[in-house]
Copies of this chain bind each other. A is one copy, B any other.
């Protein structure tokens, strides 16, 4: 029921996930609405529906999730908690998904705060940035946990051994940054189970110098949206440039197909969904503006994460991190 294009795009994406990718799906929400959307794909009866009469609106946040214990996202989390589903996928309000996830699935043993991990479109493999907005105010110790969450994700979902972890701050030297990152730098450097390579800066987000970028949810969200906005701006300026002049118009026609491909690769919907890490269950947050394709990709990602045991691996890392802290 969540997302700018719900329920149409959500149901269409679920149908694609089932038919094209063999992902077993359960849809959660208002049965009549969902059935109507399924009918458009001749898929009534093909995908089971679990009833949830309420839903969080896109502009609703943390408080609404307390007020509506039977919202579609709450019911979906409950299915995972009971073991009736392996993962939740939602394109709904991020604040609502985070708050409901925390409330219904609870944080994993030893995890102080959950984090949203987002894959950035670097090559040869994506770079994981976290936290992209789950927890706005953090302590240095929480950034260390985010490093473990991100490393676990990079290891299981991306298959990266000993992922290089960088701390997003201002200035490369250890003593640069704000109070939070200076202390976090010291703590990160002292964790033997982390491959911490030091500070990185804003211009390093897309150059692949690390595999995991650690930051608080406030900074991470601003960096991510700034990046998306700057890429969009560069392409808009480019289009204008290409369209000016006659020779250029010819050139633009030649380029159009390639430019579209490139733009797509930089599109958050295509380069992957965000993952809420640190809870007792797999939660994938698709972009609010997701089309069917984005929803299907998020379902495939959710299955991969559930199969690869990312949640279990996060738990092991956090436990090992605690042990290494006690030993010191």
Chain A binding site: helix, strand, loop or mixed by DSSP? helix
Partner of A222, one of B173, B202, B206: B202
A155-163, A244-252, A308-316: which one contacts chain B? A244-252
Oligomer: number of copies = 2
* CB interface residues, A 217-262, toward B, < 8 Å: 217-219, 221-235, 237-238, 241-242, 244-245, 247-248, 250-252, 254-255, 258-259, 261-262
Q: Does A67 contact B (CB under 8 A)?
A: no
Whether A232 contacts B203 in the complex (CB less than 8 A), given A218-B177, A223-B223, comes out as yes
What B residues does A171 contact at CB under 8 A?
Answer: 61, 95
* B255 touching A251, Cβ below 8 Å: yes
Whether A227 contacts B230 in the complex (CB less than 8 A), given A137-B179, A170-B218, A254-B251, comes out as yes
* A205 touching B229, Cβ below 8 Å: yes
* A248 touching B237, Cβ below 8 Å: no
* B201 touching A225, Cβ below 8 Å: yes
What are the interface flags for A153-196 relative to B under an 8 Å C-beta threshold, 1 for contact and 0 otherwise?
00000000000000011110100111101000000000000000
What B residues does A218 contact at CB under 8 A?
Answer: 169-170, 177-178, 181, 219
Tell me, rounded to whole Å, the shortest Cβ–Cβ distance linking A110 to chain B: 24
Total chain A interface residues with beta-carbon distance under 8 A = 61
Partner of A223, one of B59, B226, B265, B266: B226
Partner of A226, one of B95, B176, B203, B259: B203
Max count, chain B CB within 10 A of own CB: residue among A205, A226, A233, A248: A226
Tell me, rounded to whole Å, the shortest Cβ–Cβ distance linking A85 to chain B: 29
Which A residues form the contact surface with B (CB < 8 A)? 59, 61, 95, 133, 136-137, 168-171, 173, 176-179, 181, 201-207, 216-219, 221-235, 237-238, 241-242, 244-245, 247-248, 250-252, 254-255, 258-259, 261-262, 265-266
